A and B are shown apart, each in its own frame.
Chain A
Amino acid sequence: MAVNIPDKKTPMKEQLPQERIRNFNEVALGYSEEEAVEEAKRCLQCKVPLCVRGCPVNIDIPGFIRQVRERNFEKAAEVIKSYNNLPAICGRVCPQENQCEAQCVVGKMKNHEPVAIGRLERFVADWEAEHIGLKLPEIPPRRSEKVAVIGAGPGGITCAADLAKLGYKVVMFEAFHKPGGVLIYGIPEFRLPKAIVEREMAYIRALGVEVRTNVIVGKTVSVREILDEFDAVYIGIGAGAPKFMGIPGTNLIGVFSASEILTRVNLMRAYAFPNYDTPVKKGDNVIVVGAGNVAMDAARTALRLGAKSVTVVYRRSEQEMPARLEEYHHALEEGIKFHWLTQPVRYLGDENGRLTAVECIKMQLGEPDESGRRRPIPVEGSNFIIEADMVIEAIGQGPQKILLQDFPELKLNKWGYIEVDPETYATSVPGVYAGGDIVTGAATVIEAMGAGKVAARSIHQYLSSKVASEKS
């Protein structure tokens, strides 16, 4: 085994916590060329690269890192782009610690951190954008079949791009006024600058994908019209319906879903009110309920809007927290407080219907439940009050029903998500494929992209065999 590999990842510059908590600029600042090359040298170039297996889109990771090491940054970008249409985004928001980096052999060496694959991916994508600009792969002659992609989130974008690269005419339908899905309305500017999403969208459009915004399939056009007009369909509408615990006081002024706060701030740029017309409430004492990535985003957003104190309450303990470690650490650095084993049971308000406090109960962990995590159980009589003028519930999202209500033939599972063949992502309706959160429930950007990629392959096979059978 190679020796003298630096045990730590080459550090990436970040905005200092005391500065960044008052702005919405990106926290992580990226590698310089020298830092990237230095980090690339930590890669062992394994013959059987385990990291690739950990990647939902199977990027040739040692391949692109080798190019970085040799300072062939343009070539490195080509390698990544042949697998992943959105590298600048994945480099920033993928949970690499559970995926490629979790498998990295360097990371398995005693006291060693894995190679910073995510940071390198981000570096390569940003380098390409800065030095090369828009570069398109060769696209085969245009095919006659048309594919509809419903939902312009990460999965839909991936599926659309891969199909466009195969020569299909692809039309992507987006309900919002801007494409990008959760990348635009959900993930904050300080983690994923919207300019980067727009840059990646320009690439998708340049591939020939037509993006129709302001179209809600099931309302603006019917599912029937889509099925009649297109030869195949990919549904990637995400899981966008926010859940509320539904405890007493939920409709008090000051209680919000994380989706609302994040949509106002990210999609509508409410942090720049009144230069932008959409307002957002600034709480002084903010409680965030839940400890996933959305909760971290909401907590850090509330802080940047000017909160004096932000506290995350979570009914399980630090160990069960679903948020990425990096986001948790950033939140801690920024001064966000955490109350573990704590569950709100009631919101208290004044005579004007405004929130004044949250009544919580302490929890303890019991036997593991169906998720494999230990079930939280209320500790009787342990109720206590936390003063708060704003609560943000970030306890998950469910399937959004508008399209599904207009598509009764589509088979759903018992949780209301679309049932698909796990190999092909085919739904119960021939020619209709689905992937991402609307199949799995809320998950990650890269998992949605992985599904979009596989579905694109399946759609290509489906359309190819259909054409072949029509000819014979």
Chain B
Amino acid sequence: MFRILRKRRLAEGTHDFWVEAPEVAQHARPGQFLVVRIHEQGERIPLTIADAQDGKVRIVVKAVGKTTYELCSLKEGDELADVVGPLGHPSEIDRFGHVLLVGGGVGIAAIYPIARELKRAGNRVTVILGGRTADQVIMRDEFDFADRVLITTDDGSLGMKGVVTDAMKVVLDSDEVDIAWAIGPTIMMKFCALLARERDLKIWTSLNPIMVDGTGMCGACRVSVNGKIRFACVDGPEFDGRFVDWDELLKRLTIYREEEKKALERYLEKVGEPTWL
């Protein structure tokens, strides 16, 4: 069992956990993910590792479906049935020069360890954090190590009014960027990747297709990259976004939409108003 040692709410529907998992924590590197199962009847869901230290791993969870709603209802001291990882290849960390990292919504938690590691490796680090509203721009006080932080919100309640690609253009128009990362909702990563392709910029994106085992044994997470079938769990999760077939991925994410809806409705019927979110 894997105990929740710390938990706090970062924004409505987005919660930050530190979970006891010594072996995973010891081996985890930026860019990798976990597969978590809450309880015996639970499904296995992939979650990016936001940090790891002293036998604990950090995950930031946004409530979008039954399992993530339920996960967010857990408290400090509660235990998760299964945590397995660290899965996937770690991010490519090197001294590139000037790196640009774009995080959208809960994706901000995913770029955080990568940005920090790139800074440690001697890069100049520019970060763009985006959210629908100011309070959705989570963890923004944790990026104080970055050389430059730009914030965008859809409603203009904080930073630039607009989306992350607007801020990307600002950076790319005024500065040389050697390599970029973009992690967030698939649609956001798609548009970041399209822009990067226009500008001939390598851009790592962390793909989030549907997974079961996370170890290359089911093929549910297959994506097309450069016309080839790849398994995001073992070949990724990061791929150069310029070569990802984004429209296919967006469609494949809808496979279980009906079932997901049904499961969440049934859960909410059982538990009532999810006031904890």
Residue pair B215, A242 in contact (C-beta under 8 Å): no
Which A residues between 315 and 372 are near B, CB-CB below 8 angstroms?
352-353
B67, B87, B222, B254: the one within 8 Å of A251 (CB) = B222
Contacts of A400 in B (CB 8 A): 215-217
Which of these binds chain A: B78-86, B161-169, B193-201? B78-86
Which A residues between 165 and 215 are near B, CB-CB below 8 angstroms?
175-177, 185, 213-215
Which of these binds chain A: B41-49, B104-112, B122-130? B41-49
Which of these binds chain A: B145-153, B184-192, B259-267? B259-267
Known: A219-B85, A279-B263. Contact between A257 and B218, CB under 8 A? yes
Any B CB within 8 A of the CB of A246: yes
Contacts of B224 in A (CB 8 A): 251
Chain B's closest residue to A243 (CB) is B219
Contacts of A242 in B (CB 8 A): 217-219
Residue pair A219, B27 in contact (C-beta under 8 Å): yes
Residue pair A401, B234 in contact (C-beta under 8 Å): yes
Chain A's closest residue to B38 (CB) is A277
Residue total for B at the interface (Cβ-Cβ under 8 A): 42
A175, A250, A268: the one within 8 Å of B212 (CB) = A268
B23, B218, B229: the one within 8 Å of A215 (CB) = B23
Residue pair B23, A240 in contact (C-beta under 8 Å): no
Residue total for A at the interface (Cβ-Cβ under 8 A): 41
Residue pair A214, B216 in contact (C-beta under 8 Å): no
Chain B's closest residue to A272 (CB) is B41
A353 to B222 alpha-carbon distance, docked (Å): 14
Contacts of A250 in B (CB 8 A): 222, 229
Any A CB within 8 A of the CB of B134: no
Any B CB within 8 A of the CB of A278: yes
Known: A273-B259, A353-B252. Contact between A263 and B84, CB under 8 A? no
B217, B254, B260: the one within 8 Å of A241 (CB) = B217
Contacts of B81 in A (CB 8 A): 177
Known: A263-B212, A401-B234. Contact between A277 and B43, CB under 8 A? yes
Any B CB within 8 A of the CB of A402: yes
Residue pair A221, B23 in contact (C-beta under 8 Å): yes
Interface string of B85-112 (1 = CB under 8 A from A): 1110000000000000000000000000
Contacts of B259 in A (CB 8 A): 273-274, 279
Residue pair A259, B219 in contact (C-beta under 8 Å): yes
Interface string of B207-224 (1 = CB under 8 A from A): 000001101111110111
Tell me the smallest distance from the CB of A442 to a CB of chain B, in Å.
Answer: 13
A214 to B213 alpha-carbon distance, docked (Å): 11
B interface residue numbers (CB < 8 A to A): 23-24, 27, 37, 41-44, 66-67, 81-87, 212-213, 215-220, 222-224, 229, 234, 245, 248, 251-252, 254-256, 259-260, 262-263, 266
A interface residue numbers (CB < 8 A to B): 175-177, 185, 213-216, 219-222, 240-242, 244, 246, 250-251, 253, 256-257, 259-260, 263-264, 268-269, 273-279, 281, 352-353, 400-402
Query: 9 A-B residue contacts at CB 8 Å?
Result: A175-B215, A177-B84, A216-B85, A219-B87, A220-B84, A240-B216, A263-B218, A273-B263, A281-B255
